[in-house]
Structure 1
Amino acid sequence: MTMSSTSGISSEISMDKFLTLFVTQLQNQNPLDPTDNSEFMSQLAQFSIVEQEQQQTGYLSSMTSIGTASLQLDQLTMASTFIGKTITYSSDSKKDQTFAGVVEGVKLEKDGTVSFVVDGKSVSISNLIKVGG
């Protein structure tokens, strides 16, 4: 059981599964030609590295999620200051076409972006041109 490459290791493998396999390997080795201790230590070290990388990936993923949620909250907070104010905004399809309306509310879209609600329609914050008449 050599673990020379981390690409072949499933992310589902746990330390318990690895240790079970490791003990089975020890129990079934040839007593007249035992496996070298350094190979066992190498396998343990490689698995430990893989496990640490998986933990770091999970940590970074959760930090990214927290960062995204924080950014969305900041955008919602900023956008809510526009409620009741008249804004001028561009069209989604034709950037040279502009509209004006009063911001009735703000909402978080399914794709994670924040939009103004103007005349019952969603207007992306990125389409904002100016505030006031």
Structure 2
Amino acid sequence: MTKIDPSLYLQNQQKTRTPSPELGKNEFLKILMTQLSNQDPTNPMDDREFISQMAQFSSLEQTTNMANSIEQLVQSQLVSPVIEYSHMIGKEVSYQAFDKDTGEKLDVETSKVVAVSQKEGWAILELKNGEKIYADAVLQVSEPTIKED
């Protein structure tokens, strides 16, 4: 014989209702269904009023979906450093060069950005001279001095 989960007993259910300050689409549908089920059969709801309420529900649902889509778009834009630094493609950047063997500072070098990638959430600028530098290592950004076709 199967046992009943004690959490489902009425005595274990929440006795007080916590009101919500927001009216979402689920609450709107509940109100509409309650109205329809409790209306007087001899005096049903006016067609225009019903259509108006359905239009309000449709508008609420579309607005909610649009807000969710915009939120997803914003989140995806914030996450990608590639998108954030893509405007630098074609620009010249100056950066402090270092000797790869000793770590000693060399002269400030300048090169054109040809691509942007990411590594562990950091933007990497790929330069025409073959170097790859972190975007935060850039000292100066400028338009290219020599136009190339």
Give TM-score, length-normalised by structure 2: 0.41
Give TM-score, length-normalised by structure 1: 0.45
Greater Rg over alpha carbons, structure: 2
